[in-house]
Amino acid sequence: MPLRLVVGAQYRDAALSVYIKIAALAMRPEGCTAKVSVLAEYLGLSKSVVERGLKDLSHPDEVDGLVEVVTTRRTLRGGRGQSAHRVVRKATEAEHFVWVPVRAADALSPRLLRLYALIAYAEARNVPLAVGDLGGMLYHHTGTKAGQHLGDRQAARLIEELGSTGWITVHARQGLQGRHAYETHRHPIHPAAQAPAAAPVIHDGSGAVSAGGSLASREDQRTDRPVKRAGVGGSIRRRRDAGSSARGHSEKRSNSSGAYRGPGLQLSPRVWQVLEPVRPELPSISPYVLRRIGQEIGRQLSAGVGMERLTARLLTRYSRLTAHGPAAERARRGDVGRWILGAGLPRHGCRLDSCEDGVTWATRERCHLCANIAAASAEAERLAAEEARAQQPAAAAPPPDPPAPSRPPTTWLPWPPPPPDPGPDLPDGDEREQLRAAATPEAVRQALAEHGAPTAIRLYGHALVLPHLTKHHDEGTTAS
């Protein structure tokens, strides 16, 4: 899309949506042949709004005299008309442009689409943006303020609404010199929150958007907090407690009962949407605490915290509360209202506004600063433990074990003598008879000398051995 369409005050907001849809359809071989009613149906706009946007695009503008959409009328011979053929102007090479998804034109309102295109161009060119800069490039096109740019408050509300659709992510106070940092997406990162039916869009005046029709002739008198006037004398508007006056001091009160009879509690639709997770507990909360809760939610919304983020925060923490016990019993004691103010709504995390309970809200990743702080704390605890161990006195060494008792002296016993040699193996009966038959005196004496008398007797018998025994042999035989 040419940048001149985005920043030019001569083009209505609807002209951007119509241009993107025609440019997308014109990429077909036959070009864009859709009727105005078909374009209006695609964009979700009224036919009159699309016709006014086409008028700005198909006529020379007041600044450059360029025609952005070239329309060719087509009529058959019979006089019956055929839908016009439309193509967009071919941009020059030196012309600035911005890429905008066609899906964004279908999903976003014309004003939010222009805001998205401005942020996308600034992000592509790395240009820091302030809320006032964006408000200076958005203009009123109807009413007494036609031609004037929007204020900072209206621009901030538009940015918050665009962020709730998921097409952009607002990093609060993370840009240059404390500005917000903006990140555009090619598709919404989460479903858009459905606004209540009783919350009209009033960014461009006091009346609600009526799809290109005329506004109401009389302004709606209902406001967020109506003031009820009572009588001529009026009433005490400041809330006083029944027991605030001390005894002995008389005080004139228009309400003798001491009950609060001021204006009824009225919360804006945005506050009701944030309190949706705890809606069953709201009837048990006192009006004073509920008013304090509404003020705290309004303060955070004005500071740039989105409704979706506040709602998710309250839902997560309320789920933890109900998981530990019945919340209805705590609501009867009035604890839920104080819990919402003290624990449910405050942001937990580091000094970065994008940190939500240690997690970066936009990316759902762990916050790097919280991770560094946790690592530094763990390291400090480790060093402190080591220092404490070093300062402790050394533990006394345990007493030595008593000496083992001395062993008695070893007594060595003599080894028993070996058994006597039984001699050579004796032959069996036949061999022994042959041995005795062939025995000679020399063989008998040799057996006595080598084996002794007993063995010689067993070999040769008594008859052959006894004649050769001497005194020495007799002693040995007797001893045997």
- Per DSSP, the residues of 438-452 read T--HHHHHHHHHHH-
Q: What angle do CA 105, 111, 112 make, to 5 degrees?
A: 65
Q: Quick one: average pLDDT of 72-87?
A: 80
Q: Quick one: average pLDDT of 182-203?
A: 67
373 has a pLDDT exceeding 80: yes
Say if CB 458 and CB 426 are below 8 A apart: yes
Number of alpha carbons in the 13 Å side-chain half-sphere of residue 217: 0
Cα-flanking dihedrals φ and ψ of residue 62, to 5°?
-80, -15
Report strand pairing: 69-75 vs 168-171. unpaired
Instruction: Write down the pLDDT at residue 269.
Output: 85
Q: Give 231: exposed, middle or buried? Use CB within 10 Å, 0-12, 13-18, 19+.
A: exposed
Report strand pairing: 168-171 vs 181-184. antiparallel
184 has a pLDDT exceeding 90: yes
Residues 127 and 124: their CA atoms lie apart, in Å, by 8
- Lowest-confidence segment of 103-107, 172-176, 331-335, 349-353 by average pLDDT: 331-335
90 has a pLDDT exceeding 70: yes
Say if CB 454 and CB 474 are below 8 A apart: no
Coil vs helix vs strand at 359 = strand
30 has a pLDDT exceeding 50: yes
Q: Please tell me which residue, 246 or 33, carries the higher pLDDT value.
A: 33
For 32-73, the pLDDT digits (tens) are 999 999 999 999 999 999 999 999 999 998 888 899 999 988
Instruction: Write down the pLDDT at residue 50.
Output: 94
448 has a pLDDT exceeding 90: no
* Angle (deg, nearest 10), helices 441-451 and 453-460: 140
Q: Please tell me which residue, 259 or 391, carries the higher pLDDT value.
A: 391
Coil vs helix vs strand at 372 = helix
With tokens 């309320």, the residue in question is 318
241 has a pLDDT exceeding 60: no
Q: Quick one: average pLDDT of 430-443?
A: 81
pTM value? 0.44
Q: Quick one: average pLDDT of 243-266?
A: 49
Instruction: Write down the pLDDT at residue 472.
Output: 59
Distance of CA 206 to the CA centre of its chain: 40
Helix (H) or strand (E) holding 310: helix 307-323
Residues 87 and 362: their CA atoms lie apart, in Å, by 39
**Mean predicted lDDT score pLDDT of the chain:** 78
Q: How would DSSP label each residue in 75-127?
A: E-TTS-EEEEEEEEPPPPTT--B----HHHHHHS-HHHHHHHHHHHHHHHTT-
Instruction: Write down the pLDDT at residue 158.
Output: 94
For 298-342, the pLDDT digits (tens) are 888 888 888 888 888 888 888 887 776 665 455 444 578 888 888
Instruction: Write down the pLDDT at residue 190.
Output: 79
Percent of the chain surpassing pLDDT 70: 77
Which one, of 357, 360, 359, 339, lies nearest residue 349 by Cα? Answer: 357
Say if CB 304 and CB 170 are below 8 A apart: yes
Q: Under 8 Å CB-to-CB from 96, ≥6 apart: which residues?
A: 2, 3, 4, 121
Say if CB 358 and CB 316 are below 8 A apart: no
Single-letter amino acid, residue 185:
H
Distance of CA 473 to the CA centre of its chain: 117
Q: Under 8 Å CB-to-CB from 164, ≥6 apart: which residues?
A: 192, 193, 306, 307, 308
Q: What angle do CA 269, 271, 275 make, to 5 degrees?
A: 115
